[in-house]
Structure 1
Amino acid sequence: MKGSTKLIVLHPSIHKHGGSPHRIWILVFVSFFTFAVIFTLITTRDSTTTATITTATSSAAASTSQLPKPVFDALLHYASTSNTTSGGGRMSSAELNSIAAVLRRCPHCNFLVFGLTHETLLWNSLNNRGRTVFVHESAYMVAKLEEKNPEIEAYDVQFTTRVSDLYNLIDHAREQLRNECRPVQNLLFSDCKLGINDLPNHIYEVGWDVILVDGPRGYFAAAPGRMAAIFTAAVLARSKRGGAAKTHVFVHEFDREVERICSDEFLCRENLIESVDLLGHFVVEKLDDNGFDFCSNSSSSSSSPLSTSSWVDD
């Protein structure tokens, strides 16, 4: 009979007790796995981007720290052009090129310059990858330079020598060759009359690659002269710690008596590799602590009488 037909209805509780817990755990696992994958992709992309930016920044910084060759050449060209007039202690084009050639080959050069001259800003610019330090006799001039160019490192020195004392100072250095005026020493603690010992302490710890002697004044008897600057350059080169074993030392106006005699005595003629106009170019090798002779031919240098004749073309 139609009235006896029964409809069977399944209660929802049957499904709850059957498969629902398994589905929930699967859903949780899939969600966690999806989140982990997305998070990994995002962080990996960010790390890669950061590394790329860092590398690019470092490369850019490295490229900007090196003076491009066209800029180097342009600065040298215009400096040479402006120095065509004679007088005033300005260097000739050939002299500028001689020093610039060494700076060009010297990465991160330590460059010590005695004297503030027309070329001061040029030297500081050409050696922009390295360290350039200027030493001058006038505290006023040093202050004015640093005021206009705060990036420049310069120090003043009170010279106690005079051009007229040249021969007495040479005799003193020869007498003290194995003591206060020896070629290998820390000048900070030296009492040699020709040693400059009142610069900041850290200056004596630097291994100078290039030294230019273009000061102090030396064109009249009462001027301080360049005896101390040349002697100090010779000692710094032979006492060098770290870096290359050799130091390039340039002496400007070394056709004059003081520059010629002191260069012969302390830098040595066997180390003279180039003579350009009024510029002498020496390459001085460092010595060990037991070295007590400035020159290889020390017997003739230390015992022979001083001569005012030129030896450049010998």
Structure 2
Amino acid sequence: MRTKGHKPLNMKILIVVVMVGFFVLFVVRSKLPMREEEAGHGEKCPLSCGKIPSSVSEALIHYSTSSITPQQTQKEISVTARVLEGKSPCKLLVFGVGHDSLMWSALNHGGRTIFVEEDEAWMEQMRRRFPTVEAYHVTYGSKVKEAERLMEAGRGEECRAVGDPRYSVCQLALKGLPSVVYETEWDLIMVDAPTGYYDDAPGRMSAIYTAGMMARNRDSGDTHVFVHDVNREVEDKFSMAFLCQSYMKNQQGRLRHFTIPSHTQDMPFCPP
């Protein structure tokens, strides 16, 4: 989620264009006649409804004046942005706080976007810069060097049983997330953290598994799950094993998009 070094100018232009497009869509929708039950007496929405939301204006200003842009590429961002365009306002959970956090919050204007972050100091720094971002500190007990052992554990029946991750006996299940994370049925989940590029880093094994389990455990409907950095072994293997190749809708660059249905009925963990 964190950006290391500067990105090409075209990334900044992309983000500004996305934000402007989102604003135009917002204004156009706001000027359409409201349904009678929404307006009370069939009135049209007043002109004040076209005022730019503060979350969008803050994002436009930030990305048009900052030399630091999100780590994902234009094509990778576009995958999630297209889903958000059809889903927002919705419930979006993001593993990791970074320079793209303000963008995701703005693209989900009117919905709820929550970030969970392993590095408390980094999270507080981002909070000071972006006070509207809702972020929580979390800890992980795993390490990348344990990935092979955890993959083997994940093949056990206890890790295939669908349920609330808080009460799972699977070693991969995250049990220390904020209560709101477990109690919300997420429409989209982005796994772009925790750190996973060296042996003693926490790795994304448990984040990927838990995202898939929360998607399966919802009462109804589908959950869109995105995993970044699938060029790395852990993200590649764990996303295919626990989010399932048959549920994969798209891969663009280092980003994979899965659509996972509710498993309240008797269904195989991964369909053939």
Q: TM-score range by the shorter chain?
A: 0.7 to 0.9
Cα separation, 2, equivalents of 1:234 and 1:62: 41
The question of 1:141 aligning with 2:127 is answered: no
1:26-175 correspondence runs (5 A):
59=45, 63=49, 83=69, 90-175=71-156
SS at match of 1:250: strand
**CA separation in 1, counterparts of 2:94 and 2:88?**
17
State the secondary structure of the residue aligned to 2:155: helix
User: Could you tell me how far 1:60 is from its partner in structure 2?
Assistant: 5.1
Task: Pick from 215, 233, 237 the counterpart of residue 261 of structure 1.
Answer: 237
Q: Residues 205 and 66 of structure 1: is their aligned pair in 2 closer, same or farther, counting only changes over 3 Å?
A: farther
> What's the counterpart of residue 304 of structure 1?
none
Go from structure 1 to structure 2 and tell me whether the alpha carbon gap of 1:78 and 1:276 turns closer, same or farther (over 3 Å shift): farther
Partner in structure 2 of residue 284 of structure 1:
260
Q: Note if contact 1:183-1:238 (Cα within 8 Å) is conserved in structure 2.
A: no
Runs of 4+ in 1 over 4 A off after TM superposition: 53-58, 64-68, 70-75
Per-residue deviation, 1:195: 1.0
The C-alpha deviation readout for 1:85-130, integer Å capped at 9, x for no partner, is xxxx811111111111111111321000011122111111111211
State the alpha-carbon separation in 1 of the partners of residues 51 and 173 from structure 2.
35
Letter in 2 for 1:296: P
Q: Distance in 2 between matches of 1:60 and 1:111?
A: 29
Residue 114 of structure 2 aligns to a residue whose secondary structure is strand
Residue 174 of structure 2 corresponds to 196
Distance of 2:113 and 2:84 partners within structure 1: 11
The DSSP-based 3-state class of the residue aligned with 1:191 is: coil
* CA distance in 2: counterparts of 1:280 and 1:149, whole angstroms: 27
| Matched residue, 1:271 | 247
2:265 corresponds to 1:295: no
Task: Determine the C-alpha separation between the residues in 1 that align with 2:44 and 2:178.
Answer: 33
Deviation readout 1:241-293 (Å, 9 max, x if unpaired): 35xx11111111112100011011101111111111111111111101644x4
Show the counterpart of 1:213: 191
Tell me the CA shift for residue 142 of structure 1.
2.2
- Give the conservation status (yes or no) of the 8 Å contact 1:146–1:154: yes
**1-structure distance, mates of 2:254, 2:60:** 23
What are structure 1's unaligned runs of at least 5 residues?
A: 1-52, 84-88, 298-314
Change (3 A) 1:152 1:168: same
User: Structure 1 counterpart of 2:162, which letter?
Assistant: V
Name the CA distance, whole Å, in 2 between partners of 1:151 and 1:54: 31
- CA shift for structure 1 position 146: 2.6
Contact 1:65 1:128 (C-alpha < 8 Å) held by counterparts: no
Cα displacement (A) at 1:71: 7.4
The one of 197, 201, 213 aligned to 1:223: 201
User: Cα–Cα, structure 1 residues 58 and 239, in superposed 2: closer, same or farther, change >3 Å?
Assistant: farther
Structure 2 CA distance for partners of 1:61 and 1:157, relative to 1, 3 Å:
farther
Distance (Å, rounded) in 1 between the aligned partners of 2:245 and 2:134: 31
Q: Secondary structure at the match of 1:268?
A: helix
1:195-230 superposed Cα distances (whole Å, 9 cap, x missing partner) = 111122232121101111101111111111110110
Distance 1:151 1:259 in 2: 30
Query: RMSD value over aligned CA atoms?
Result: 3.4
Q: Which has the higher contact order (CA 8 A, sep 6+)?
A: 2
Pair member with larger Rg: 1
Q: 1:153 to 1:71 in 2, by over 3 A?
A: closer
Q: Give unmatched runs, 5+ long, in structure 2.
A: 1-38
Decide whether the 8 Å contact of 1:252 with 1:280 is kept in 2.
Answer: yes
Query: Alpha carbons of 1:73 and 1:201: their partners in 2 closer, same or farther (altered >3 Å)?
Result: closer
SS at match of 1:95: helix
How many residues end up aligned between the 2 structures? 233
